[in-house]
Amino acid sequence: MEERGSPDGDLARSLEQGPEGPETPIQVVLRVRPMSAAELRRGEQSALHCSGTRTLQVSPPGGGPDVAFRFGAVLDAARTQEDVFRACGVRRLGELALRGFSCTVFTFGQTGSGKTYTLTGPPPQGEGVSVPPNLAGIMQRTFAWLLDRVQHLGAPVTLRASYLEIYNEQVRDLLSVGSPRPLPVRWSKTRGFYVEQLRVVEFESLGALMELLQMGLSRRRSSAHTLNQASSRSHALLTLYISRQTSPLSPDPPAPQMPPGAPGEPPVGGKLCFVDLAGSEKVAATGSRGELMLEANSINRSLLALGHCISLLLDPQRKQSHIPFRDSKLTKLLADSLGGRGVTLMVACVSPSAQCLPETLSTLRYASRAQRVTTRPQAPKSPKQPQRLEIEILQLQEENRCLRSQLGQIDPKASRLSGARVAWAQRNLYGMLQEFMLENERLRKENSQLQSSRDRARDEQRILAQQVQVQELERRLLCACSDHQPYPSPAPCLCVMVPAPPCHALPPLCSCHRLCPLCRAPLAHWACAQGEHHLPQVFGPKAPSGMPLAAQPPPWAPPCNPGSAKCPRERSPSDWTQTRVLAEMLTEEEVVPSAPPLPMGPPNTSPVLRGGAAVPNLAQRLEALRDQIGSSLRRGRSQPPPREATRSPSRVLPPC
């Protein structure tokens, strides 16, 4: 018996418009189970009354107005399993699956409301005891119808099945060869969400399919609680994959060709999925503790996620945007059925007892929202479409080739560089960088060595200059000594014995402009024969100007302009240094040390003795020279010095 206004008829009409029909609402059937023996024992009253074939009246136990709910079909407790199968229009869904549509039947409702009973019948009364045929659920009836239908088709059909459960948010394969293990849920553009490594079993007979069903049911998690002695603790999904080839002799309208699937993968084609959801439950009402409570929480959470998705799917604007199907494994695997291209039937199951009314009202509201959700069923591509796709692929390949060549023109180097070359270039650059760093370090060291060599050379140069200066002083001293001789000396001028240019290059500091008697070179002031007359002015007890000696310039300083106030200060430090040394050499008295500022060197250090390893030698040599000058002068004033000492001062002086 097929009822008027049943979801089967509505669905068929909407889908007959074509393979990609208009938006189709999810079909919802409401089933009210009979009062259970326990409920009758407790004397519980029924709060539900069916009004016609599509309306349910809810009467609150405390009085008040009835609330009406309208669905695609409402089936009261008197309806048999066969009635439910027919009213739900599952045969029509089977036909759509044979044509390539993706169809889903799922049951939902409070725990103990009859979901599993509706889909698979009552639990087996013992091992090996099959369910009586009159109590068989929607699934067994659909299997029987499908196998019979396939047998009468003129074209070969390949049937496969998979069976899984979502237990505590883990997907387990109920048909696995070994013990079930958690499987990942993946997503691909072509397949949508799918379970990886799920076993898909091919079957050819109804018996084989029934065995698969029994195998899955026996492995599915179930436990006893207050409201149900065989309560399912997981969501179970059994999927039939239908691959069919068109036969010219077939009386049916031409169906799309289903390409065979790759080995180990579900074949591409129509499918029919049966989902037995675990029931929502109030933990307080079921008395669940420990593991049962954990299971109940997981069940309620996933059902909440499903309800949330359904609510969002109702809003046409939000439907275009984001629906949180990824919130749970259940919503992932039902995404296509709820919001995609599938054809979906919901069977809402409720208890008639007034004691369960809060949960029943929740289920009714849930079902009311769900039937306003629409999908856009889409059949597989027609045989002509692969040709179109092939052309499209060729066009895309050509476009890709053009773009690549354009890219190569823009940056030919980049396009020529393969990945290996790029890696090689990077390695090479790194090596070069290392080499540069080493070279840089080597140059730094070399630079440092050169700098220290340069400093040493400067020191040596300074010492050499001082030695030359000493030699020059010696030579001039000897010349001066020869001038003090009372009789002409037959000895040769010592200017010949020492290098002349440094000697005569010195500026004359005396205005007498005396010349060397032998070489006729200009002599410095200290070689002047009248030098003696200058000295008392310098070192006399009182300066003529009345200034302290420390503040006065030495009298042998070059004459300066009296009007110039800065005249004494404009003397360079080297001049002062030189004059101080000369004064020390010409007299045995100390020069006032504070008069000229010494430019460099530590205190109490003679400037001419600064720096170098030869400094001690030079100091000794200067000391000896000073002694010699003093004695020469003394001898010059009284009696001529011994000739040999005058001729060869180097014999007296320590070696440089």
Ligand X SMILES: Nc1ncnc2c1ncn2[C@@H]1O[C@H](COP(=O)(O)OP(=O)(O)OP(=O)(O)O)[C@@H](O)[C@H]1O
What are the residues binding ligand X (CB under 6 A)?
Answer: 33-34, 36, 109, 111-117, 122, 228, 230-232, 278-279, 349
Strand partners, 183: 171
Strand partners, 348: 30, 108
Quick check: helix, strand or coil at residue 31? strand
Q: How many CB atoms within 10 Å of residue 306?
A: 23
Q: Which CB sits closer to ligand X, 255 or 346? A: 346
Task: For residue 111, say whether it is annotated as part of any ligand binding site.
Answer: yes
Q: Which CB sits closer to ligand X, 363 or 632? A: 363
In angstroms, what is the minimal distance from the CB of 299 to ligand X? 8
Cα torsion 142, 147, 152, 153: sign: positive
399 burial (CB, 10 Å; 0-12 / 13-18 / 19+) is exposed
Q: Which CB sits closer to ligand X, 328 or 466? A: 328
Compute the distance between CA of residue 571 and CA of residue 525 in angstroms, rounded to an integer. Answer: 17
In angstroms, what is the minimal distance from the CB of 176 to ligand X? 22
Strand partners, 235: 166
Task: For residue 452, say whether it is annotated as part of any ligand binding site.
Answer: no
Q: Which CB sits closer to ligand X, 115 or 475? A: 115
Q: Which residue has the tokens 């109940």?
A: 296
In angstroms, what is the minimal distance from the CB of 280 to ligand X? 8
Strand partners, 374: 25
In angstroms, what is the minimal distance from the CB of 369 to ligand X? 20
Compute the distance between CA of residue 649 and CA of residue 524 in angstroms, rounded to an integer. Answer: 20
In angstroms, what is the minimal distance from the CB of 334 to ligand X? 17
Quick check: helix, strand or coil at residue 244? strand
In angstroms, what is the minimal distance from the CB of 281 to ligand X? 7
Record the tokens describing residue 410, joined without a space: 């823009």
Residue 478: C-alpha distances to residues 17, 525, 586, 623 (Å): 136, 14, 12, 16
Q: Which CB sits closer to ligand X, 100 or 112? A: 112
In angstroms, what is the minimal distance from the CB of 278 to ligand X? 5
Q: Which long-range contacts (CB under 8 A, 24 or more apart) does 384-389 make?
A: none
Q: Letter for the amino acid at 44?
A: E
Q: Which CB sits closer to ligand X, 247 or 300? A: 300
List Cβ neighbours of 156 (8 Å cut-off, separation of 6 or more): 244, 245
542 burial (CB, 10 Å; 0-12 / 13-18 / 19+) is exposed
In angstroms, what is the minimal distance from the CB of 395 to ligand X? 53
Cα torsion 105, 110, 115, 116: sign: positive
Record the tokens describing residue 6, joined without a space: 């049943």
In angstroms, what is the minimal distance from the CB of 118 to ligand X? 7
Task: For residue 109, say whether it is annotated as part of any ligand binding site.
Answer: yes
Record the tokens describing residue 142, joined without a space: 């659909």
Task: For residue 579, say whether it is annotated as part of any ligand binding site.
Answer: no
Quick check: helix, strand or coil at residue 355? helix
Task: For residue 113, say whether it is annotated as part of any ligand binding site.
Answer: yes
In angstroms, what is the minimal distance from the CB of 116 to ligand X? 3
Compute the distance between CA of residue 319 and CA of residue 314 in angstroms, rounded to an integer. Answer: 7
Q: Which CB sits closer to ligand X, 135 or 144? A: 135
Strand partners, 526: none
In angstroms, what is the minimal distance from the CB of 359 to ligand X? 11
Q: Which CB sits closer to ligand X, 78 or 565? A: 78
Q: What are phi and psi of 576, to 5 degrees?
A: -60, -40
Q: Which CB sits closer to ligand X, 230 or 515? A: 230
Q: Which CB sits closer to ligand X, 349 or 582? A: 349
Residue nearest to ligand X (CB): 279
In angstroms, what is the minimal distance from the CB of 342 to ligand X? 23
Q: Which CB sits closer to ligand X, 109 or 554? A: 109
Q: What are phi and psi of 356, to 5 degrees?
A: -100, 10
Record the tokens describing residue 209, joined without a space: 């399919």
Q: Which CB sits closer to ligand X, 27 or 231? A: 231
In angstroms, what is the minimal distance from the CB of 310 to ligand X? 19
Record the tokens describing residue 310, joined without a space: 């359904």
Compute the distance between CA of residue 34 and CA of residue 353 in angstroms, rounded to an integer. Answer: 9
Q: Which CB sits closer to ligand X, 112 or 596? A: 112
Q: Which residue has the tokens 């003090």?
A: 484
DSSP string, 44-59: PPB-EEEETTTEEEE-
Packed helices 81-88 and 90-98: angle between N→C axes, nearest 10 degrees: 50
DSSP string, 606-631: -GGG-SSTTHHHHHHHHHHHHHHHHH
Quick check: helix, strand or coil at residue 649? helix
List Cβ neighbours of 30 (8 Å cut-off, separation of 6 or more): 56, 69, 71, 73, 74, 75, 347, 348, 350, 364, 367
DSSP string, 57-107: EE--TT----EEEE-SEEE-TT--HHHHHHHHTHHHHHHHHHTT-EEEEEE
Q: Which CB sits closer to ligand X, 230 or 609? A: 230
Task: For residue 116, say whether it is annotated as part of any ligand binding site.
Answer: yes
In angstroms, what is the minimal distance from the CB of 48 to ligand X? 13
Q: Which residues are annotated as part of the binding site for ATP?
A: 109-116
Q: Which residues are annotated as part of the binding site?
A: 109-116
